Chains A and B, each alone.
Chain A
Amino acid sequence: MTMVAPTSQTLIGHFEKGLDAPICLTWELTYACNLSCSHCLSSSGRRDPRELSTAECKAIIDELQRMQVFYVNIGGGEPTVRSDFWELVDYATAHQVGVKFSTNGVKITPEVARRLAASDYVDVQISLDGATAEVNDFVRGEGSYATAMRAMQNLADAGFTGFKISVVCTRQNIGQLDEFKAIADRYNAQLRLTRLRPSGRGADVWDELHPLPHQQRELYDWLVAHGEGVLTGDSFFHLSAFGEALPGLNLCGAGRVVCLIDPIGDVYACPFAIHDEFLAGNVRDDGGFASVWRESPLFRRLREPTGGGACGSCSFYDSCRGGCMAAKFFTGLPLDGPDPECVRGFGEQLLADRDDTAKPKPIGDHSHRTSPPRPRAKTGPVPLTLSVRRPDAPPAHACAESPLAGFLPQANAEACVCGADH
């Protein structure tokens, strides 16, 4: 991204007040996924029965075209498992909405790779969280490294250059940054490093996966050395307090220039903030996505000036801006204070003093129920919640024997909130 101006005025002020349409829109098409990554930010696994239909997705694309949202970052879940995935990609690109989609590679066959290589309007991002199978499969599940490498080989063989390899930086893989770069170079791809957030199932494993303080420094130095050659999605601006600012806007864009549309049409302030606290509305509401983006009280609030709170007096506030809102929220820290990974150590102090009940209860767990990737940190007796028919909801009919009679999706989603609290 470049900024072109004959004058030196800052853009940050404009971005903080929000734009008429997002610059960076993430759209998660499904919660269904063939994997069960332990740090999944959207707690994906099972498809939500309320998922947007093909027609509803196309209506959103029409709206994005009207709003001149130039491209969307499609994710999930595993978006390619939707049977209408390619139809939606074709529809978007035919309507001046470019697509970059994130995938674990499961559907990137040689044939699909050739098709992708032929399109200028589609970019692909393969998720890889370890430069070796051992490190990758530890978080993404057995066989996932082989799947990703096969997909990359197919893309390279098809002549698709410059696809992205997206790595969530963890305690286990910070030492592999050079190896990741070598993999990207080998496949003529571009490396993208992003920050682990304690969102979704990430809340369960953040304590054991998030980089240690000396690794943060190692990561920062590596990013500075590699400059704009490595993408970061602007996700490490909290590290700017180490010294010079990293390339990018160095700004929390949540609700200002960034947002998320989830598989059921809920609009959240950012992809890492899937929680009622950051829910702005739903694309199925009157006025659609545009009015959620422009008028939701939450987004309006996020666009108001902030003073920096407890961080306001820190000499690094201008570069780090208090860090990531989602990281603070899901670790139970106040939103107007330091990031849990504040490089000056203020976050660690707060975490140590934190009352464990301060952490928010996650919402919307879509995890697979039958085969978790590995035993969770605290396995024990399975807590059962016996359902009781609401007194105001009579039986569907007198002889309703179907276990699904009277099924309420909303109530079901509530009932799924379990097991993630630790």
Chain B
Amino acid sequence: MTPLTIDHVVQLHPRVSVRPEPFGALLYHFGTRRLSFLKDLTLLAVVSQLDGTRPLGDALDAARVPREDQARYLRALSALAASSMIVASGATEVAA
């Protein structure tokens, strides 16, 4: 999958559950049975903003990610997309 940009519209996979923790969150995908750790509260804030309607740039802004940090957060989000934790809107039927 290509790296995400601020123009992509994505959402949490409907079969992913998020458990907030002091360091960030645990994500569990019931379809792939994979666990991911969000090691950052800001990243959790970004993920919480993903509603499948607005572009990623809006979610980053809403979570108050500084412009100079956007690239790092987009890389982290791309890693989540690679394990199907987040998916492009309307594409939830792919990848379990």
Contact = CB atoms under 8 A, between A and B. Distances in A.
A220 interface: no
B30 A120 contact: yes
A23 B75 CA distance: 25
A19 B37 CA distance: 12
* Interface range for A: 20 to 34
B35 A14 contact: no
B33 A68 contact: no
Interface in A319-372: none
Contacts, number: 74
Of A4, A19, A98, A100, chain B has the most CB atoms within 10 Å of the CB of: A4
A121 B76 contact: no
A2 B36 contact: yes
Contacts of B80: 4
B45 to A, nearest CB: 12
A304 B55 CA distance: 43
B34 A2 contact: yes
B43 interface: yes
Contacts of B23: 11, 14
B43 A23 contact: no
A20 B37 contact: no
Q: Binding site of A, secondary structure by majority: helix, strand, loop or mixed?
A: loop
Interface residues of B, number: 29
B56 interface: no
Nearest to A69: B19
Which of B30, B38, B79 is the most central at the interface, judged by chain A CB atoms within 10 Å of its CB? B30
B76 A23 contact: no
Interface in A1-38: 1-7, 9, 11, 14, 19-21, 23
B22 interface: yes
Given A5-B76, A6-B69, A6-B73, A71 B37 contact: no
A62 interface: no
Given A6-B73, A6-B76, A1 B21 contact: no
Interface of A: 1-7, 9, 11, 14, 19-21, 23, 68, 70-71, 96, 98, 100, 120-121, 123
